[in-house]
Amino acid sequence: MERYDDIDRALFALPLEEPPQGLRDSILAITVYAPQPERAKVGLFENVGIGVALALLVWFTWAVIANQVFADTIFGGLVAFAQGLAKPPTLLSLAMGFSAIFIVSLMPLRLVPVQVRTERS
Amino acid sequence: MLAPSLARVSAARTFTADDDATLVSTALAGHAEAFGTLVERYERAVYNLCLRTLRDAEEAKDASQEAFFKAFRGLGTFRTGSKFSTWIFSIAYHACCDRLSRRRRFSDAEMPERADPSPGPDVHVERLDEASRLRTAIDALPEKYRTVVTMYHLQGQQYEEIARVLDLPMGTVKTHLFRAKEHLRKLLA
């Protein structure tokens, strides 16, 4: 059992201070009644595009699963593409291309203002 | 017609009979107004905890707002079975600690003059009435002591809950309380 002394009793009798006016409203305003972020509006073209892409994806997946000939053709095409990429001349061309991009990206391409010569000078 | 703020409060009051856990579940189920009842229920206690910890009414107001905002945002992480009061006090206390450490970056001391720009608590203790004397004396305590005094004596929380909020062993909470009372006794003598 707790024993309370005079300090305890005085502290227990001390009322809590009133919060400032408007605190609750300001809390509610940033929590419960905070405006919800607007959903990004998607236009008709985006909707149609996404729909077509999804339909193509479903069709492609179904064709690969259901049609063995189609699946073989796709697989053969991928293998041929990979073999073409793996050829030394192709790899050399790719390496040169990427090197060129890298070198250009390192160049300090700053815009220099053109000096204008006035008539009076 | 009711002002928007009044309408909001009256909407929140429809949940007043529910317990905290039910209110949290209701808010999570999409009835955000249930959180308004929790705000109504704990606003005063949270504000007083912040006020006594920070000793600055304006900062206490900001810290209270921050605490409820964080609680609202993190309501999904609230563990069912635990007490909402412990959770919200813990968030509020940590918000206060962040503010105190930010203050300390500018000064080694805790800058008590922010709360009371007048000559200092000791000077005024004798002149004020009983409640004000006590409050001033509490404000003159070190931060760890005045927080436990606020939670134990003013808010009526149990040692266990205080220990959980402050992340301290229960023995330390009891020691803090004992030393806080010793300090108060000297200040009020």
The per-residue pLDDT for range B116-160, each reduced to its tens digit, is 444 445 544 544 577 888 888 999 999 889 999 999 998 889 999
* A114: pLDDT strictly greater than 50: yes
* A34: pLDDT strictly greater than 50: yes
Give the pLDDT mean for A25-30.
Answer: 92
pLDDT in the model for residue B18: 73
Cβ neighbours of residue B9 closer than 8 Å, sequence gap 6 or more: A24, A25, A28, B36, B40
pLDDT in the model for residue B82: 86
* Residue A27 lies inside a defined structural domain of this protein: no
pLDDT in the model for residue A38: 67
Residue-wise DSSP of chain B:
---HHHHHHHHHGGGTTS-HHHHHHHHHTT-THHHHHHHHHHHHHHHHHHHHHH--HHHHHHHHHHHHHHHHHTGGGPPTTS-HHHHHHHHHHHHHHHHHHHHHHH-SS--GGGT--SS-HHHHHTTS-HHHHHHHHHHTS-HHHHHHHIIIIIS---HHHHHHHHT--HHHHHHHHHHHHHHHHHHH-
Q: Is residue B139 within 8 angstroms of chain A, CB to CB?
A: no
B15 to chain A, closest Cα gap in Å: 14
* Domain extent listing, chain B: 42-188
Under 8 Å between Cβ of B70 and A41: no
Query: What band does B113 get if pLDDT is binned at 50, 70 and 90?
Result: very low
Cβ neighbours of residue B112 closer than 8 Å, sequence gap 6 or more: B55, B120, B121, B139, B140
* Residue A11 lies inside a defined structural domain of this protein: no
Q: Which residues of A touch B189 (CB under 8 A)?
A: none
Give the pLDDT mean for B69-79.
Answer: 91
Give the pLDDT mean for B54-80.
Answer: 92
Give the pLDDT mean for A70-81.
Answer: 91
Q: Is residue B8 within 8 angstroms of chain A, CB to CB?
A: yes
Give the pLDDT mean for A16-31.
Answer: 91
pLDDT in the model for residue A45: 87
Under 8 Å between Cβ of B137 and B123: no
pLDDT in the model for residue B33: 87
Report residue A78 as tokens.
């991928």
* Residue A7 lies inside a defined structural domain of this protein: no
Percentage of chain B exceeding pLDDT 70: 79
* B51: pLDDT strictly greater than 70: yes
B53 to chain A, closest Cα gap in Å: 13
Percentage of chain A exceeding pLDDT 70: 84
Under 8 Å between Cβ of A24 and B13: no
* A120: pLDDT strictly greater than 70: no
Distance (Å, whole) CA B121 – CA B186: 13
Residue of A nearest to B42 (CA): A24
Residue-wise DSSP of chain A:
-----HHHHHHHHSPPPPPPTTHHHHHHHHTTTPPPPPPPPPPHHHHHHHHHHHHHHHHHHHHHHH-HHHHHHHHHHHHHHHHHHHSHHHHHHHHHHHHHHHHHHHS-----PPPPPPS--
pLDDT in the model for residue B85: 92
Number of Cβ atoms within 10 Å of the Cβ of B76: 8
Note whether A14 contacts B131, CB cutoff 8 Å. Answer: yes
Query: What band does A116 get if pLDDT is binned at 50, 70 and 90?
Result: low
pTM higher than 0.90 for the full model? no
**ipTM of predicted assembly, 2 dp:** 0.73
pLDDT in the model for residue B57: 92
Q: Is residue B51 within 8 angstroms of chain A, CB to CB?
A: yes
Distance (Å, whole) CA B15 – CA B22: 9
The parent domain of residue A48 ranges over: 44-105
Residue with tokens 């419960």: A32
Count: domains in chain A = 1
Under 8 Å between Cβ of B49 and B151: yes
Number of Cβ atoms within 10 Å of the Cβ of B150: 25
> Number of Cβ pairs closer than 8 Å across A and B?
85
Sign of the C-alpha dihedral, residues B126, B130, B133, B138?
A: positive
Distance (Å, whole) CA B114 – CA B143: 14
Residue with tokens 């063995």: A68
Note whether B130 contacts A10, CB cutoff 8 Å. Answer: yes
Q: Report whether CATH 1.20.140 matches the domain B42-188.
A: yes
Average pLDDT, chain A: 86
Residues belonging to chain A with any Cβ–Cβ distance to chain B shorter than 8 Å: 5, 7-8, 10-12, 14-20, 23-28, 30-33
* Residue A6 lies inside a defined structural domain of this protein: no
